[in-house]
Structure 1
Amino acid sequence: MAENKDMKEAVLRKTLFQSKNMAQMYSLYRDVYPDTLAPTIMDFVHAYNKVGAKLERMVEVGCGSGQAIKKFVSYFDNIIGIDISAEQIQEAEQNNPFPNVSYAVGDAYQLPFDTGSVDVVLCGEAIHFFDVDKFLREVTRVLRPQGCVAIFGYWMPVITPVGVADAIERDRLQKIGSELARKCKVGGCYMEKIKSHLTCEYKDIYEQLSSPDKVHNTDLKSDLEWNISQLLGYFNSLSPYNLYMKKKKEELERISQFSEEELKKHDINEIFRRDLKKAWNVTDQNDTDVWMKVEFGIFVVMGNRPVFN
C-alpha cells in the first residue's frame, strides 16, 4: 500500500512540473547557486582532464529552467540541459542567451547520447526524484572513460533580517525566522525517500556512488539577499507545497467546505508570512520592503566515472 501511495505521489509531482506557471517560478526563484559551485566542480573534473582545456560536452539532467547551467558556459564547447518537463525546457530556451547551450525534453534513464560521448554529467536538485541506481548506470554509459559526474542540492535556508544593528537581537531573529522557514518547508508533502536524501545532504548518494574516486563537499553556501516576497516565491515553487495545497483543496471539496478564503487558512506559506512578520515586528511593512540574508548550504557529490560489475 505504501508503495502504491508513493507511485501516485510521483505521478502527481510529475504533473506539477508539467506546468508553465511552475516553470516560470523556477526561473524566477530557484537561482540559488553560488559562483563557487562551478569552480569547485571543475577543479575535480580537471584532475581527470587537461587543466585549462575547454571540454567538449556537459549534460545536466533535471535541468529545470536552466539555473545551474549558466555557471558552466565558459568551461565547455557544448552544454545540453535535459528535463522531463516540456514546460521547463520551453522556459529555459526562451531565456537562453548562450550559443553553446541547448535544451531538450528527455528521460534521465534513457539519455539521448551515444555511449562514451559526454565529459561531465551534472544533476542539480533533482536526483532525489530519481531511481538512483538506474540513473547512475545511465550516467556510466554516456560518460567518457575520463568523465565525471557531479550531483548537488540544498535543503533548509537560514534567514537573517537586514538592518538589525544589535548582534544579539539579529541572532535571535535569525533563529526564530529560520525555524519558521523550516516548519514551512517541511509542512509540504515530502515523500520520505526525498526527505531522507535531502536531510543527510546527499551523504547516502555519496555512499551509493560507485566511483573509484569521489568527494562529498558540504562547504559551499549561497549568498542571497531577498525580501519576503521573493522568499515566498521560492516556497511557492516547491512541488511538496503545491502537492500539499492540491490535496488540501481536494479534501475541502470532499467535505463541501471549499472556498478560496477557507483554503487560504490552510496555506502553510501564508501562515509563514504572517508569523515571520509578527516575530520580526514588521507587520506594518510591505513584503517587498522587508529584506533578509538567505543562506542555503549547498552539498555536492563528485566522482569520476562510476564502475558497475
Structure 2
Amino acid sequence: MSGLFESKSHTEMYSKCRPKPTAEIVQKVMDFLNKHSPLETSESKHQCMVDVGCGNGQATELFAPYFTEVNGFYVSPNQIEHASRKFSNVKYQVANGESMPLKDKSVDLLISCQAVHWLDLNLFFAECNRVLKPNGCLALIGYIEEKINPVQSMQFDTNAVQKYLMDFVASCKMHPLTSLVDKHYCSVYELIKSKNKIHHDDMQEICNWDLESFRNILSTWSGYQTVIKETTDALIAKHGSKNVTADMIKKQDIIETFINQTKQALNAVDKPDDQVKIKVIREWFFILSDKPSSPIKSETT
C-alpha cells in the first residue's frame, strides 16, 4: 500500500471523492458486533475500534458514535495529515495492519475498508488474533463501480457506455492484489478461520452523479495513478520537463478518452462535464467474522 496514495494532489482528491460505506453496512457491522459482544444498556458504548488502511477517515468516523476510542491506521503520513478530525474520540497515526501499536486483547471491532488486499494476510490475521478481545469482531469491506445507467429522462446505448468504462478499467495498470477486490474478497473469506463468519455480496448503492464527479472518483484509483505517472514520465523523457504541458498530458489521459466517448454516447459533447448526469451502480461486499482462531496460511500473499 505504501507509495500508492501519497502525493498531495492525490490525497486531496482521495479525501473528497473516496466512497463511504452506506448506513446499512455500518448498521449490519454493529448488529454483528452487538450480537457477539452485547452492551449493558442501549446507551452504552463499546470501548475500542480500529480502522486499518483508514485513508482520510472516510469509514473511520462513521463508527465514532458507537465507541469510546476509535483509531485509524495508515502507512502514508500525507494521508494521516489530511485525515478528517470531526470527532474528539478519533485519533489517527501512521501504522500498518501487520504490526499494530495496540495491546493484546484490547480491540472490540477491527475494520478495513477497500484496503485489506494490500496487506500481508498472514501477518494481518495474526495481528487480528492478537489484538481483538475474545468477543471482538472483524469487518472487511470493499466495493466496485459496476455499471453506468441512464438517468430517467436520458436515452443512450448503455452497453456502449459500459464498454467504455470496461476499456478504461482495462487500461489502468492495477496491482495484481486488486484482483481480490474484483472477486469480492471471496478468497479472503475462505482464509478466515473462525466459528462465525458471513460474506455479504449483494448490496447495491445507486449514485446519482455527473461526469465530473465520476471523473474525480476514477482519478483516485491506484491503477490510473500509475498510468498517468508513466504517461507524464514518458513525455518528460521525450520532450524535457520544461516543454511538457498540461494539454500534452491530457491528450494521452485515459480518463479523458473515457469521458469523451461517454459524452458522445450521451449526445452531450457540448455540455460541461458537471452538467452531464449519470447514474452509477456501486456493488458493496463485506465480510463479518468473530475473532480469527489462529494465524492463517495464505497462498494469495
TM-score, normalised to structure 1, is 0.87
Tell me, in whole angstroms, the C-alpha distance in 2 between the residues paired with 1:139 and 1:179: 40
Tell me, in whole angstroms, the C-alpha distance in 2 between the residues paired with 1:273 and 1:32: 24
User: Would you say 1:246 and 2:232 are equivalent positions?
Assistant: no
User: Would you say 1:233 and 2:216 are equivalent positions?
Assistant: yes
Matches within 5 A, 1:9-158: 14-50=2-38, 52=42, 53-92=44-83, 95-158=84-147
The answer on whether the counterparts of 1:54 and 1:76 sit within 8 Å (CA) in structure 2 is: yes
2:199 corresponds in structure 1 to 216
User: Would you say 1:206 and 2:189 are equivalent positions?
Assistant: yes
Tell me, in whole angstroms, the C-alpha distance in 1 between the residues paired with 2:70 and 2:23: 18
1:33/1:294 Cα in 2 relative to 1: closer, same or farther (>3 Å)?
A: farther
Amino acid across the alignment from 2:180:
H
After superposition, the C-alpha distances for 1:114-147 in whole angstroms (9 at most, x for unaligned) are 0100001000001111111211111111100110
Q: CA deviation at 1:149?
A: 0.6
Q: CA deviation at 1:40?
A: 1.2
1:181/1:33 Cα in 2 relative to 1: closer, same or farther (>3 Å)?
A: farther
Does the residue aligned with 2:80 lie in a helix, a strand or coil?
helix
Instruction: Choose the corresponding residue for 2:163, options 179, 188, 191.
Output: 179
Tell me, in whole angstroms, the C-alpha distance in 2 between the residues paired with 1:59 and 1:35: 18
Does the residue aligned with 1:14 lie in a helix, a strand or coil?
coil
Q: CA deviation at 1:268?
A: 0.8
After superposition, the C-alpha distances for 1:231-250 in whole angstroms (9 at most, x for unaligned) are 00001111111111112233
Does the residue aligned with 2:96 lie in a helix, a strand or coil?
coil
After superposition, the C-alpha distances for 1:203-249 in whole angstroms (9 at most, x for unaligned) are 01100111221111012222322111110000111111111111223
Give the unaligned 5+ runs of structure 1: 1-12
Amino acid across the alignment from 2:104:
T
Tell me, in whole angstroms, the C-alpha distance in 1 between the residues paired with 2:59 and 2:96: 19
2:280 corresponds in structure 1 to 294
Give % identity.
29
Amino acid across the alignment from 1:144:
K
Instruction: Choose the corresponding residue for 2:173, options 177, 181, 189.
Output: 189
The answer on whether the counterparts of 1:55 and 1:76 sit within 8 Å (CA) in structure 2 is: yes
Tell me, in whole angstroms, the C-alpha distance in 1 between the residues paired with 2:206 and 2:91: 28
Tell me, in whole angstroms, the C-alpha distance in 2 between the residues paired with 1:60 and 1:38: 13
Does the residue aligned with 1:72 lie in a helix, a strand or coil?
helix
Does the residue aligned with 1:224 lie in a helix, a strand or coil?
strand
Aligned length: 289
Does the residue aligned with 1:217 lie in a helix, a strand or coil?
strand
Amino acid across the alignment from 1:185:
V
Amino acid across the alignment from 1:259:
V
Q: CA deviation at 1:83?
A: 0.6
Does the residue aligned with 2:62 lie in a helix, a strand or coil?
helix
Tell me, in whole angstroms, the C-alpha distance in 2 between the residues paired with 1:80 and 1:193: 25
TM-score, normalised to structure 2, is 0.90
Does the residue aligned with 1:247 lie in a helix, a strand or coil?
helix
The answer on whether the counterparts of 1:157 and 1:181 sit within 8 Å (CA) in structure 2 is: no
The answer on whether the counterparts of 2:145 and 2:280 sit within 8 Å (CA) in structure 1 is: no
